[in-house]
Amino acid sequence: MLKDFEKTKPEEKEALNAEIKELRARLIVQQQLLREAKLPVLVLLEGWAAAGKGSLVKEIISEIDPRFYNVVSPVVIPESEARYPFLYPYAAAIPENGKLIFLDSGWMEDTVRKILRLEITKEEYKRRVRSVNEFERQLRDGGYLLLKIFLHIDEEEQYERLRTLSENAETEWRVTPDDLWQHKEYKKFLKAYDDFMEDTNDTIHWHILDGKRKKAAVRDAMKLLVNKIDKALEHGRYVGEPFDEKFPLIKMPKLAEVDLSPTISDEDYKKELKRLQKRLSELHNIIYWKKIPVILCYEGWDAAGKGGNIRRVAYPLDPRGFDVHPIASPEPHELNRQYLWRFWTRLPRTGHICIFDRTWYGRVMVERLEGFCSEKDWKRAYNEINEFERQLTDWGAVLLKFWIHIDSDTQLARFTDRQNTPEKQWKITDEDWRNREKWPQYEEAVNEMLKKTSTENAPWYIIESNDKKYARIKALKIVVKSLEKACEEHFQREFG
């Protein structure tokens, strides 16, 4: 794309100024309309060092309300964020409904630098490209406006600019060793930028602007933005169509086919619990040391015993190395962003374990059944979730999903017991009873979920929990076995 790039022709200054002025006036009106329409906008601005990205943003926003936009500069990912998946800083920065975010460099710059420095392999590069395409599509399908701009200057122009900056005592510090390295390797960067844009041009198109003609670049960027917003305001918030990608799936039984009779004797329970917890404690040490991230997902019927199960898994873990995230209804600032945002921002660092007590699968269960999202939304979610989980396992995470299962009679017995036992009454609410009435609908939704999202990289495990002790031992065994496998694979990669 950069090879065929045609430079912008010099234009008359007065005419350009007039055009920019008019575009600014339109943007001022649009900011209010976007707020009313609750449309979020994300502008990704990539480009060469010294191409003028900062000045471009400044000119675009110069007259709009500072409460309406934000500029995020993740050029250098801080060490603390480097221990998260590579999309994490961007996923965490997505705007709220009705707001606009400029990403002053993002997933492209980080990826291009890393591949040129050989910090990631070609396979990893390909996985990143796939993740980027998925990430962008998910945002678009969730109603986000995305605009991707690359600000281009040629080698000669970059030389001049870096020299001017370096010669001036006040601006010299702005030229970083990374910038000089980029200039030295201009041709390699040219190819790498070009490749990346080719690879990520299908869902959201790239727009290349000529950084040498500053005013024209401002005009062109604003025109793109204003037109995109106009179109979105006209057509309303976009809701993506569901579609199927073929993920390798593990065949799951229907819930009705699950045999819930397994039990364990008290004696075996105690023995097994002790053995498995001891082993898990040892494994946690290795996990922490080898920086393997672990994500455990708990879903299940009300009163199935999720809490007690989680407690038995958490008990042997070093408290400094794990977190439990109870997931309740989303708060306003969470509802105002794409639905996976509140999970992105709760991911564990490498070497840490996090346990989700309820998860993103709320989308295809409670949100589906209570009508909290549209049919297209939840139908799209199976695929989106599979992609999200593949991004996590690509990053190196061990991701296990437990469906804690009981039958309807057992639930009734436990509800009644809670109701009749004073110190357990807080555990039971009217909502639990209401949900119980919808058991058949939930069962159907769960069956569909298990069928469509039990991928090889992130499988579902049905944990029979009519006997809670049996369920705890089964979950612990799966955790221990999976972590042993992950540690083993890690050693193989390191020494094999």
User: By the criterion CB under 8 A, which residues form the site for a second copy?
Assistant: 29, 32, 35-36, 54, 57-58, 61-63, 65-67, 70-71, 73, 78-81, 102, 104, 170-171, 173, 282, 285, 289, 307, 310-311, 314-315, 318-320, 323-324, 326, 331-333, 355, 357, 423, 426
Closest approach of Cβ 475 to a second copy, in Å? 14
Q: Measured from the CB of residue 196, what is the shortest distance to a second copy in angstroms?
A: 22
Nearer to a second copy, 378 or 402 (CB): 402
Q: Which is nearer to a second copy, 240 or 305 (CB)?
A: 305
Chain centre to alpha carbon of residue 236: 24
Amino acid at 389: E
- In the complex, what is the shortest distance from the CB of residue 59 to a second copy, in angstroms, rounded to a whole number? 10
CA nearest 239: which of 361, 168, 318, 138? 138
Q: How far is the CB of 312 from a second copy (least distance, A)?
A: 10
Q: Which residue's CB is nearer to a second copy, number 315 or number 433?
A: 315
Cβ distance to a second copy smaller for residue 191 or 427? 427
Q: How far is the CB of 55 from a second copy (least distance, A)?
A: 9
Query: What 3 state SS string does the chain have?
Result: CCCCCCCCCCCCHHHHHHHHHHHHHHHHHHHHHHHHHCCCEEEEEEECCCCCHHHHHHHHHCCCCCCCEEEECCCCCCCCCCCCCCCHHHHHHCCCCCCEEEEECCHHHHHHHHHHCCCCCHHHHHHHHHHHHHHHHHHHHCCCEEEEEEEECCHHHHHHHHHHHHHCCCCHHHCCHHHHHHHHCHHHHHHHHHHHHHHCCCCCCEEEEECCCHHHHHHHHHHHHHHHHHHHHHHCCCCCCCCCCCCCECCCCCHHHCCCCCCCCHHHHHHHHHHHHHHHHHHHHHHHHCCCCEEEEEEECCCCCHHHHHHHHHCCCCHHHEEEEECCCCCHHHHCCCCCHHHHCCCCCCCCEEEEECCHHHHHCHHHHCCCCCHHHHHHHHHHHHHHHHHHHHHCCEEEEEEEECCHHHHHHHHHHHHHCHHHHHHCCHHHHHHHHCHHHHHHHHHHHHHHHCECCCCEEEEECCCHHHHHHHHHHHHHHHHHHHHHHHHHHHHC
Indicate the residue among 32 and 201 with the shorter CB distance to a second copy. Answer: 32
Nearer to a second copy by Cβ, of 80 and 492: the residue is 80
